[in-house]
Structure 1
């Protein structure tokens, strides 16, 4: 067990002992997230993920800590799909966004691995030289290695918990999703509430463009082929499972609540 894994386990025990076990959740590794239409082939981040980070998530997973809704002092570790999407929104010190390359994943200089505000892109990113503080999409301050950063983060969290007082601080609504990581995902489910996706499921990725309402959606496969072209044919979409996805068609009478219709990977309605 590495030093940071051991320290994290101590932190878990401390939260439970102090009555704050409810403030910690874990996101599933296969949490599905729609790709950006500007980067439909995803992002290339493997070269940025340090050995200590990889060891941590392999053992611990993707923790989410929050004592209130929109808890900027908490944190949400991002599973691979949301990490890839949000990493394309982090700019370098020269103010440049990662550039998409036709038919290929976008190579990013920063891997946005944990967020404190997922709307404004605030949190922490890994680069080739370690962890950077990200504020409003801009990587602004180098914080050292992942191990150094995490040990400091845990010390800050323990100090914070010591000053809260469990008897005066009860579990608020949506504390389990303080930065809307699950809410922004395609499934909206927390760990333990969904069965794992198959390899075939994960080869089908929804792509989203948020220019206006309703959003535009398209479906791309692992080979980069558009199975469903971008368009406004759907109001909402859910991930594919076993060659089937639920969508809300953009037709008269539809709302963001439904009705839901099942389609195959080529967009054909099932059951008609």
Structure 2
């Protein structure tokens, strides 16, 4: 009589027990279902349910969004909002990324792939559900550098193979061996308590920012519809990088100038942001300023105090003339002016004034 196949849930439990016995309790865990990434690439959501095989649905219903780390590799199952965010960042085989991105921005894209597991977050690397071969049921695909590259079989087949790899690596584990780090979803997510704080204290973007420690070194909110950059940003005096791309902000508060340690500031893709406060000249450590596709028409004169600023992106801005302050900043090394309507003679004058700076134009 043939033996009954071992279920994916049972297989996972066995290898997880083996991993924790060999490497300690830190070799396994679970991500909270409520985890929400700080970055939401596109506002238009999509329904992932039709792309999720029933075996996977049963697996996460039984175990949740667990992760397992061996001696040389790790695997983590993505909670729903992470699943959607990373799926939006994936490319599509045999299609130009610019076309795919335009569809997703417009909310017209038909998704054929959905990320469900990750190995790391530096680039989108992991596994997605996608079309099976010749009309077969959903298959697992490997995802490398944000692009599905190869079918790997059904979910039960793929999981059995991954668990076998992890198990094999544990067979000769010795005392003192440690596991590799799992994908750091929690470190790149919004604090789970943000909704509680929003209800109890503040509303809107103030509540979101208020949920983060004031000694944070990086805040990344690309794609989140903030609508405004709150004045309490000035309390994050240890901040080194601030990313608020595509957030709908219309102005920058003068309190931003208090961030004396800020090195990178990305305000790009906010077309209603038309002017910058003079207090930006107080950002003594600033090295990179991205204003791509904002509505700024000039720059405040105090920027000439930013002697560490080497990169300035002014692509696709409605500049009619070059801001005079640029000619007083010989330390600039890159100024992007692509897709602007600036007179060629002005651009040439800037090149003459800043001979060591690369000035990019159409």
State the TM-score, normalizing by the size of structure 2: 0.50
Q: Are 1:159 and 2:168 counterparts?
A: yes
Superposed displacement of residue 123, structure 1: 0.8
Superposed displacement of residue 106, structure 1: 5.1
Q: Measure, in 2, the Cα distance between the counterparts of 1:28 and 1:255.
A: 35
Superposed displacement of residue 117, structure 1: 2.1
Whether the 8 Å contact between 1:5 and 1:56 is mirrored in structure 2 is yes
Q: Structure 1 residues 81 and 159, CA, compared in 2 at 3 Å: closer, same or farther? A: same
Q: Measure, in 2, the Cα distance between the counterparts of 1:253 and 1:50.
A: 51
Q: Are 1:111 and 2:119 counterparts?
A: no
Q: Measure, in 2, the Cα distance between the counterparts of 1:252 and 1:87.
A: 36
Q: What whole-Å deviation, never above 9, does each CA across 1:218-261 have from its counterpart, x for those lacking one?
A: 755xxxxxxx4266875779xxxxxxxxxx9962324799xxxx
Q: Counterpart in 2 of 1:191?
A: none
State the TM-score, normalizing by the size of structure 1: 0.65
Q: Structure 1 residues 217 and 41, CA, compared in 2 at 3 Å: closer, same or farther? A: same
Superposed displacement of residue 8, structure 1: 1.3
Q: Measure, in 2, the Cα distance between the counterparts of 1:250 and 1:218.
A: 22
Q: What whole-Å deviation, never above 9, does each CA across 1:72-98 have from its counterpart, x for those lacking one?
A: x21121111111111112222204444
Whether the 8 Å contact between 2:70 and 2:169 is mirrored in structure 1 is no
Q: How many residues align?
A: 215
Whether the 8 Å contact between 1:42 and 1:106 is mirrored in structure 2 is no
Q: Counterpart in 1 of 2:62?
A: 59
Q: Measure, in 2, the Cα distance between the counterparts of 1:51 and 1:195.
A: 31
Q: Counterpart in 1 of 2:13?
A: 9
Superposed displacement of residue 48, structure 1: 0.8
Q: Structure 1 residues 218 and 170, CA, compared in 2 at 3 Å: closer, same or farther? A: closer
SS in 2 for 1:100: helix
Q: Counterpart in 2 of 1:169?
A: 177
> Which structure has the highest strand share of the two?
1
Q: Structure 1 residues 249 and 144, CA, compared in 2 at 3 Å: closer, same or farther? A: farther
Q: Structure 1 residues 93 and 106, CA, compared in 2 at 3 Å: closer, same or farther? A: closer
Q: Counterpart in 1 of 2:332?
A: none
SS in 2 for 1:82: helix
Q: Measure, in 1, the Cα distance between the counterparts of 2:254 and 2:28.
A: 36
Q: Counterpart in 2 of 1:251?
A: 256
RMSD: 3.7
Point out the structure with max Rg over C-alpha. Answer: 2
Superposed displacement of residue 30, structure 1: 0.9
Q: Counterpart in 2 of 1:27?
A: 31
User: Structure 1 stretches of 5 or more lacking a match?
Assistant: 188-193, 207-212, 221-227, 238-247, 258-272
Q: How does 1:52-201 map to 2 (within 5 A)?
A: 52-67=55-70, 73-97=73-97, 98=100, 99-100=103-104, 102=106, 104=107, 107-129=110-132, 130-165=139-174, 167-170=175-178, 178-187=182-191
> Which structure has the highest helix share of the two?
2
Superposed displacement of residue 120, structure 1: 1.4
Q: Structure 1 residues 256 and 96, CA, compared in 2 at 3 Å: closer, same or farther? A: farther
Q: Counterpart in 2 of 1:266?
A: none
Q: How does 1:219-234 map to 2 (within 5 A)?
A: 220=225, 228-229=226-227, 234=233
Superposed displacement of residue 119, structure 1: 1.4
Superposed displacement of residue 12, structure 1: 2.2
Point out which structure has higher relative CO (alpha carbons under 8 A, 6+ apart): 1
SS in 1 for 2:257: coil
Whether the 8 Å contact between 2:39 and 2:222 is mirrored in structure 1 is no
Q: Measure, in 2, the Cα distance between the counterparts of 1:12 and 1:135.
A: 25
4+ residue runs over 4 A deviation: 194-198, 213-220, 230-237, 254-257
Q: Measure, in 2, the Cα distance between the counterparts of 1:47 and 1:255.
A: 49
